[in-house]
Chains A and B, each alone.
Chain A
Amino acid sequence: MSLQTITGKRVGDTYYKLEHPSGLTVFIYPKENSNSTYAVFGTKYGSVDNQFRRSDEDTVHTVPEGIAHFLEHKLFESEDGDAFARYSKTGASANAYTSFDMTCYLFSSTENVEASLEILLDFVQSPYFTEQTVQKEQGIIGQEIRMYDDDPQWRVMFNLLGALYHTHPVKIDIAGTVESISHITPELLYQCYHTFYDLHNMALCVAGNIDKETVLRLVDRYCKPAEPFAVDRVFEEEPRSIVKNKVTQALSVATPLFQFGFKEEAGKNRKTVKELAAVELLLEILASEGSPLFRELQQSNLINESSFSYEFFEGPGYASVIFAGESKNPDKVAQSIVKEVNRLRNEGIPKEDFERAKKAIYGRNVAALNSPETIANCIIALSFSNRELFEYIDALAEITLEEVTASLQTHMLEKYAALSVVEPIIPMEESKQ
């Protein structure tokens, strides 16, 4: 068991990585001047992992939509009380989240860090599900789902994913539906738990005011060697094409919202840090607040500063470039974006725009290292996609105009674009403001 030291020369920080004999990957990022310590214990298991086959079995299992998220809620309960009650003795602020491709349990704490870390390592490894507790949670999560049903940002995103993807489970709501979660049973929860909460499929990252010896001692105590087995995530074939190029839903909103997305080539492997850096830079050049596109959209009163955004959204088997915001005329925004992409492709990216974007993105990524929370969440997400934090920052600092130009040729192709709009139920002028 050897401890790997990882240093970011540009940022002057160091952290440690260890492949623990139990199978768990451990990251420790000490920040001795920090008051708090932030720990995240996660598994590479999210809402898209709906169909799977274990290497020690032949059957492909299909489980209800939303079960990874349901499991996240239920894991807080053990036979002898719930994890929040245990954390209440240490003062730690604890939480958890489930995304498309991972589930993470976390806490932030300034005192009793060691005791909090023990609780984290223990409860995540102690499943306890009964008919009664599952039923209780169906009410709570049912209300979480209903809350998201009213959330226009959430709806406009999933409507877009539904327009882009034919079969890929990324289009399914992370929490599932009130109907789908009604099929969840303790047995199904145990089955998913024992498949995906194997330490070989998990990672721990602790950032902040803590030393590596403390973390390693606790990992030794709480993490026992697990049987290594592989999980095959089964995805149906996803065509390259999109499903439809426009989708609209009416909700109680005062102003229309949109997401305009380009479905990108996803492939079997996750994108490398270089590929990611190239797309991130490309988007900054294309659509940041100083760009010609932003200027045109703003001057035409089509977007506003507080809501317009863009991202490269990618995970296992899916990748898209997504623009989002509020607009009185989303169709026009989409047209302008396509036009500007084509113009850039024809005319080339000006060197000064490239240099400026590079500095901006580099600066923002270094700035993010202030926060133990950001650090821990980034490292764990990067580790599940075989990437490393400082390599990513180096890739941003070293990227060339040629690489970004090459990325522009293969991304944001018009034939793979779809527009999702959430519009007001009643015409805007009549609505109650």
Chain B
Amino acid sequence: MIKYREVVETNEMIDRENLDVRTITIGISLLDCMTDDLDKLNDNIYNKITSVAAKLNETAETIGREFGIPIVNKRISVTPIGIVGSSACKCVDDYVEIAKTLDKAAEKVGADLIGGFSALVSKGMTSSDELLINSIPKALTNTTRVCSSVNLASTKTGINMDAVRLMGQTLLEIANLSSDRDSVDCMKLVIFCNAPDDNPFMAGAFHGVTEADAIINVGVSGPGVVKNALESVRGEDFETLCETIKKTAFKVTRVGQLVAKEASRMLDIPFGIVDLSLAPTPAIGDSVADILCEIGLEYAGAPGTTAALALLNDQVKKGGVMASSYVGGLSGAFIPVSEDQGMINAVEAGAITLEKLEAMTCVCSVGLDMIAIPGSTKATTIAGIIADEMALGMINQKTTAVRLIPVIGKDVGDTVEFGGLFGYAPIMKVNEFSCDDFVNREGRIPAPIHSFKN
């Protein structure tokens, strides 16, 4: 029988330490919607999404109520539109039409965001992939819920530098199109190396072509719970520290497993994975940077940060895999800047730089995330930053990503407000030395050797 202190512990995690289910994401395959008639394609997409996800909102609310745990987001991911639209789309505006259809379908079923306006171009770009990428700025500024991602590198294929260069320009174009709103639409685009097919988190979620017709993926989160647990072991040795993180990650992930199973049963859609990421929000006490401080750093970014983050990330995974047999997605600690009050504090104190963040992404689950940079940054410089991050993922056989926001009209020292869960961010300094001649070379960086690991 469940004990009194166990009930109190669980409810304290929820009520005081911001334990929540960050997202229930339904992955929907749109492969069977494909046709060469754009109107028909749009109808097919709308009908499929609105029928498969019809009960998404209602189900999430019921589960949240029954177990007393907040379910923060209800989302949808779809097959990369670069594939789905390849036959019907003849110009940029055709792809924008599909984005509007996705937006409409997401609104109809009450999904917060819909991901999958994506292209998989890690080795080469088809003409339709290129059209899709060229349509991203217009698609994102003409919709509110659509999220986009481009996978342009992998350990198996190398880095598509033509796509890297194009994404540098694309990002600036989005920034310019939404310059009246602090270039906010840039946060709906993620550039990946080794993107997972089953990621439930936005903006990078898409439903991979290796996936079934429909699938439920759940993302849990609880940086506050880990931070709180660590407060009780201050000054203890590393073994105690690691044990505490593992146990906490286990508990958090079990909640995700329960919610995923229940959602799968109620929606009659197979359960895919639980993503056991530590995803922060700007709420006080819901910060990954605060965990690093609790481990023993003055600020995130101080010497020792990469080691502390490596330890944290590894223990979260070790605890999480014990809790669910199907762990997937990004699974690990996220280190977005604007969405994490502790990270914002570190930037404001001058404790963390873009280069240190880059080092941290070698050992954590994603990459350079939600970082505001000066709007005057050159497209080639942005492409250089993307290339660096892709190289880390490619060589280390891990997912890495870039979500930068070049804020037009703002510079280092300014702050930009994204609102709600997206928080605010001080503009970070970018190394301005040129990489033009490097980025402007055509072609791709070859896949790395898988031996002689030094």
Do chains A and B interact in one complex? Answer: no
